[in-house]
């Protein structure tokens, strides 16, 4: 009995039943998938009436030429692809609800995200904390993580940072993360891609041991070497969206021989299968499809062309458990709760993981702090002491404008690609301290504090905008979205054109400018609240009365708190948008 399974038995007597439940067959019937065409020529059939059964305890390879529909099939079976799909997927003969299905079947994609700055052990520990039920004791979790390290041969690398792992070790770790819930069905998309032949062999050998423990393991595989191919028990061969062979790997050559395709001696069986599958228009292939459709499992649905059915409802998710027509895959009953622990605990685990990971990502953090210090000195020297002299009051206002520009862009852009928890307060604070003193602003603690507070709020808002752009649009679009959002806000900030100078119908727009509130707040901090007249190096000095500059900038003397409130409102609104866009993204992956 396997180590993983033994662990379940250790927990309680009832777990003996769990072991039996773990043996699960994945069955699918008449899967049809039609992709979109941009040339208005209807839909392109990618998978046509594909049926099959993946058995527990077996390692199955999905093989086929490029474009045959392998990844599409895997995505459909895992429930990730729903649009344009009909057919049914069952586990041990039952159509399951989405939540229940996800608990039993995990999908390991070709590209997976791991935290580079965590070790292998930490990665598995956090995964166990997140995914195992709240009732599992730390000791049970530890034991499970230890078993996974052994089963996947990762013990020697347990203290190694993920970024230093080899390609094969990374792939094994991504499998290990999913193993903490001991799923009975595992789907893998090209796990050996990018690995050399030795690492690929090693990986598939590990996967085979997982299958031997009673799991159903299905893997898309690309041009395997003969020695690697031999490790698979079963083969599911696709040719242009149709299945032409499904069964034991050892029976393939004989089966093809009966259809008139003979494998040369000492020839790689994978190459032979791929060559045959590539001849999709050859009459012999039709014979193979027919033979397959007449096979024991598929016979039940023969005679119906479900893809051509007029009444099919593409992408409709039906929860009626009807095995065939119009039943689209996994029924969407109940909520799709992914983790077995309450949300506050998920938050706590993720926060700890994120803090640990970002604390180790010194390079990026240091780079950002250094950039803030350098730019602060540059602006400080350029605008040196301009706040001390009333004759340079307008230059001082321009300096403030530059501060805000840098704080905004310096914080928004990096957040489109990262989540820098550590830099949230530090960078804007360092920047304010340097520039405030170098540019000769009033040495009054309350004014400094007000200036620091409004700049900090701008920094936090900028980070929220960056995160929202990255989450909602992806990196490429985010670099476009941030300036698009910023330019109108700058335009209506009151620095270039006063609100009373705008055309009537444009006059409400300055209220939508976050720069207007942060600029007004800064100006009030420096010049507002009854600041007394200050020295001027010129004889005739218009701005030595601070109130005059505020008037010119269309900024009230008091009311700093309203600007703070407006900035807090902007942050709250964008945080809410961030929350909803993350939820939307999460849904898209489900
Ligand atoms: N949503 C879609 N709309 C239109 N065509 C699609 C869609 N999804 C996939 N296709 C097309 O369907 C075919 C099968 O794609 P799939 O990725 O499943 O192939 P594959 O067998 O995994 O190929 P490869 O081995 O090259 O990864 C391809 O021609 C692809 O361009």
What does the DSSP assignment read for 29-59? EEEEEEE--TTSS--EEEEEEEEEEE-TT-E
Rounded to the nearest angstrom, the distance between the alpha carbon of 275 and the centre of ligand 1 is 19
Strands 44-54 and 26-35: antiparallel
DSSP letter (8 states) at residue 61: E
Contacts of 569 (CB under 8 A, 6+ apart): none
Residue 279's pLDDT is: 80
Q: Are 460 and 571 in contact (CB under 8 A)?
A: yes
The CB of 69 under 6 Å from ligand 1? The reply is yes
Rounded distance between C-alpha atoms, residue 254 and residue 250, angstroms: 8
Q: Which two tokens stand for residue 246?
A: 């499904």
Select the more confidently predicted residue: 23 or 201: 201
Rounded distance between C-alpha atoms, residue 434 and residue 371, angstroms: 13
**Coil vs helix vs strand at 198:** helix
Q: Which residue, chain included where needed, has tokens 């605990």?
A: 345
| 238 CA: nearest ligand 1 atom | 21
| 222 CA: nearest ligand 1 atom | 25
pLDDT in tens, 202-227: 888 888 988 888 889 999 998 888 88
**Cα angle 386, 412, 444; round to 5:** 35
- pLDDT exceeds 60 at position 231: yes
Residue nearest to atom 25 of ligand 1 (CA): 66
| 81 CA: nearest ligand 1 atom | 1
Domain-wise residue ranges, the chain? 20-301, 361-589
Phi, psi of 386 (to 5 degrees): -70, -15
| 83 CA: nearest ligand 1 atom | 1
Q: How confident is the model at residue 477 (pLDDT cuts 50, 70, 90)?
A: confident
Rounded distance between C-alpha atoms, residue 155 and residue 171, angstroms: 15
The CB of 65 under 6 Å from ligand 1? The reply is no
The CB of 72 under 6 Å from ligand 1? The reply is yes
The CB of 66 under 6 Å from ligand 1? The reply is yes
pLDDT in tens, 330-351: 433 344 455 667 777 777 887 7
Task: Report the half-sphere exposure of 251 (CA within 13 A, side-chain side).
Answer: 11
Residue nearest to atom 18 of ligand 1 (CA): 69
pLDDT in tens, 145-186: 988 888 788 888 889 998 888 888 888 898 888 888 888 899
Q: Which two tokens stand for residue 238?
A: 């696709």
The CB of 241 under 6 Å from ligand 1? The reply is no
Comparing CA positions, the residue from 223, 242, 360 lying closest to residue 293 is 242
Residue 526's pLDDT is: 93
Q: Are 527 and 547 in contact (CB under 8 A)?
A: yes
Q: CA-CA distances (angstroms) from residue 394 to 399, 406, 549? A: 9, 19, 8
- pLDDT exceeds 70 at position 512: yes
Rounded distance between C-alpha atoms, residue 427 and residue 368, angstroms: 7
Residue 339's pLDDT is: 62
| 68 CA: nearest ligand 1 atom | 21
Helix axes 138-151, 120-131, angle to 10 degrees: 130
pLDDT in tens, 2-16: 444 444 444 444 443
Q: How far is CA 571 from the centre of its chain?
A: 23
CATH numeric code, 20-301: 3.40.50.300
Question: Region 369-383: what's the mean pLDDT?
Answer: 86
Q: Are 263 and 227 in contact (CB under 8 A)?
A: no
Rounded to the nearest angstrom, the distance between the alpha carbon of 108 and the centre of ligand 1 is 18
Contacts of 14 (CB under 8 A, 6+ apart): none
Residue 425's pLDDT is: 67
Select the more confidently predicted residue: 280 or 315: 280
| Interface predicted TM-score (ipTM) | 0.95
Q: Which of 46, 73, 218 to mutate to test the pocket of ligand 1 (most atoms within 8 A of CB)?
A: 46
Q: Which of 34, 35, 242 to mutate to test the pocket of ligand 1 (most atoms within 8 A of CB)?
A: 35
């Amino acid at each position: 009995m396997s180590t993983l399974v033994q662990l379940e038995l250790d927990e309680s007597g009832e777990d003996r039943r769990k072991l039996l439940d773990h043996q699960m067959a994945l069955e699918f019937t008449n899967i049809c998938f039609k992709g979109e065409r941009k040339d208005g020529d209807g839909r392109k059939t990618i998978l046509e009436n594909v049926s099959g059964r993946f058995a527990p305890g077996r390692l199955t390879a999905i093989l086929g030429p490029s474009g045959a529909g392998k990844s599409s099939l895997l995505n459909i079976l895992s429930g990730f692809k729903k649009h344009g799909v009909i057919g049914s997927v069952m586990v041990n003969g039952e159509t399951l609800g989405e939540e229940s299905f996800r608990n039993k079947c995990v999908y390991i994609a070709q590209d997976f995200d791991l935290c580079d700055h965590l070790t292998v052990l930490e990665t598995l520990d956090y995964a166990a904390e997140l995914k195992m039920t709240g009732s599992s004791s730390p000791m049970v979790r530890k034991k499970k993580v230890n078993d996974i390290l052994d089963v996947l041969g990762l013990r020697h690398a347990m203290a190694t940072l993920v970024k230093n792992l080899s390609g094969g070790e990374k792939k094994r770790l991504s499998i290990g993360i999913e193993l903490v819930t001991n799923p009975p069905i595992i789907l893998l998309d090209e796990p050996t891609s990018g690995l050399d032949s030795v690492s690929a062999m090693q990986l598939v050998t590990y996967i085979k041991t997982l299958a031997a423990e009673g799991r159903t393991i299905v893997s898309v595989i690309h041009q395997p070497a003969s020695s690697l191919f031999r490790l698979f028990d079963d083969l599911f061969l696709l040719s242009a969206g149709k299945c032409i062979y499904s069964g034991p790997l050892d029976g393939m050559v004989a089966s093809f021989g009966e259809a008139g395709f003979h494998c040369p001696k000492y020839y790689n069986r994978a190459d032979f299968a791929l060559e045959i599958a590539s001849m999709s228009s050859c009459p012999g292939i039709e014979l193979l499809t027919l033979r397959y459709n007449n096979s024991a499992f598929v016979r039940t649905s023969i005679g119906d062309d479900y893809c051509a059915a007029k009444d099919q409802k593409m992408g409709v998710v039906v929860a009626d458990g009807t095995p065939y027509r119009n039943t689209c895959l996994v029924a969407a009953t109940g909520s799709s709760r992914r983790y077995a622990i309450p949300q506050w605990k998920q938050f706590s685990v993720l926060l700890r993981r994120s803090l640990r990971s970002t604390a180790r990502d010194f390079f990026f953090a240091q780079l950002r702090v250094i950039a803030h210090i350098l730019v602060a000195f540059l602006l400080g020297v350029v605008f040196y002491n301009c706040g001390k002299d009333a004759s340079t009051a307008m230059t001082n206002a321009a300096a403030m404008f530059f501060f805000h520009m840098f704080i905004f862009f310096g914080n928004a852009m990096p957040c489109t690609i990262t989540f820098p928890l550590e830099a949230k307060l530090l960078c804007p604070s360092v920047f304010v301290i340097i520039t405030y003193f170098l540019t000769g602003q009033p040495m009054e603690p309350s004014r400094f504090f007000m200036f620091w507070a409004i700049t900090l709020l701008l920094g936090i808002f900028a980070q929220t905008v960056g995160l929202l752009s990255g989450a909602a649009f992806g990196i490429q679009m985010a670099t476009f979205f941030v300036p698009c959002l910023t330019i109108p806000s700058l335009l209506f900030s009151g620095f270039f054109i006063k609100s009373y100078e705008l055309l009537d119908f444009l006059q409400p727009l300055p209220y939508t400018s976050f720069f207007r509130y942060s600029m007004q707040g800064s100006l009030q901090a420096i010049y507002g609240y009854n600041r007394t007249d200050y020295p001027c190096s010129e004889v005739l000095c218009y701005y030595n009365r601070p109130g005059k500059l505020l008037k010119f900038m269309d900024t009230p003397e008091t009311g700093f708190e309203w600007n703070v409130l407006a900035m807090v409102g902007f942050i709250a609104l964008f945080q809410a948008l961030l929350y909803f866009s993350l939820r939307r993204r999460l849904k898209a992956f489900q």
